[in-house]
Amino acid sequence: MNKPIVLTGIKPTGHPHLGNYIGAIKPALEMAKKTNYQSMYFIADYHALNTVQNAEQLKSYTYEIAATWLALGLNPEKVIFYRQSDVPEITELNWILSSITSKGLMNRAHAYKTKVDKNTEVGLDIDAGVNMGLYTYPILIAADILMFQSDLVPVGKDQIQHVEIARDMAASFNHTYSETFKLPQHVVTEETATIPGLDGRKMSKSYGNVIPLFESPEKLKKLIFKIKTDSSLPTEPKDPKQSSLFTLYKEFAEENEIIYFKRRYEEGIGWGEVKQQVFNVLNRELEGPRAEYHNYINQPKILQEILEVGGENARKRAQENLKIIKQRIGLTF
Ligand code: TRP
């Protein structure tokens, strides 16, 4: 009996930061440990293309993402880890699906709609800055998912709509051409705390407030000391729930350390000391993965080989599936 498939994509659109790790990478690695599923994780490089239009940058982001996942414990012997562009069958399926997708559905997809709303707000043409890659983004996601008969798709809340669209497309294809695709289901990765950035707002590349994951200890320390705090005195009790430094600490420290730190907050602790403690714990936990990360980055050949093996494995599955799909739609004699 084949194991159910868990599949998710990771866009190579920026340097991996602490927010990515806590919000997405950590829960996905937990999920990959479950042995009753076959996990498939891929680097969504074709998805990145609608924003990253610089060859060197796209290459570099792709390596960085691959190295990050491997350094943090993704096991390529257990998980099928590949680049989307190494499986051209996905773009063939993308075309097939686009022929059964109504344009109106794409008008309502939220990535595009958000852009239209923003353009309208500032009085621009509704489609200003929209390329077809962005507009038809949900179709490529559906192809990613349906290509492998995925059962479960772990995503952030903002991506639920995409999995629902994939599900609708699968149902509509099955209705037109007979039962072909499994209907995928989203799994919302458990609501982790929103990770605050340097300025206290959500850590996000678009706010320019991120702490990169694998900076040198000196840089990491410098950035942690830049995190905004209030002007309360060291002796004043502080509320850990209101403190972004505490939120960061909690994600990396041991249970007993967290309890102790909380008590220190309540008794009164200076922000300088808080920052030092946060640095100590983060650095302790990131030291090992940081060394691994640099090993991989310095040996791109190893990364290429790992992705190649994953790509071949994924491609074999895709080819088998595409053969059936093509029969269903009358493209094979
Ligand atoms: N759209 C996702 C993101 O922006 C990445 C992604 C691409 C994806 N294809 C997918 C996620 C398929 C789950 C399944 O992060």
Q: Which atom of ligand 1 is nearest to the CA of 141?
A: 9
Domain membership of residue 207 (yes or no) is: no
Range of the domain at 281: 214-294
Q: Is 149 helix (H, G, I), strand (E, B) or coil?
A: coil
Domain membership of residue 144 (yes or no) is: yes
The H or E element spanning position 114 is: helix 110-121
User: Is there a single domain that holds both residue 142 and residue 91?
Assistant: yes
pTM score: 0.91
155-159, 177-181, 211-215: which has the minimum mean pLDDT? Answer: 155-159
Domain membership of residue 186 (yes or no) is: yes
| Domains held by the chain: number | 2
Residue nearest atom 8 in ligand 1 by C-alpha distance:
9
d(CA 271, ligand 1 centre) in Å: 38
User: Is there a single domain that holds both residue 97 and residue 145?
Assistant: yes
Residue-wise pLDDT tens digits, 288-329:
999 999 999 999 999 999 999 999 999 999 999 999 999 999
Contact status, residue 211 vs residue 224, Cβ threshold 8 Å: yes
User: Is there a single domain that holds both residue 172 and residue 242?
Assistant: no
User: Is there a single domain that holds both residue 86 and residue 10?
Assistant: yes
Residue nearest atom 6 in ligand 1 by C-alpha distance:
9
Domain membership of residue 274 (yes or no) is: yes
The answer to whether residue 188 scores a pLDDT higher than 90 is no
User: Is there a single domain that holds both residue 47 and residue 191?
Assistant: yes
User: Is there a single domain that holds both residue 321 and residue 172?
Assistant: yes
Task: For residue 233, give the CATH number of its domain.
Answer: 1.10.240.10
286: Cβ contacts below 8 Å, ≥ 6 apart: 213, 214, 220
Residue-wise pLDDT tens digits, 211-249:
999 999 999 999 999 999 988 989 999 999 989 999 999
d(CA 47, ligand 1 centre) in Å: 8
Task: For residue 62, give the CATH number of its domain.
Answer: 3.40.50.620
Domain membership of residue 9 (yes or no) is: yes
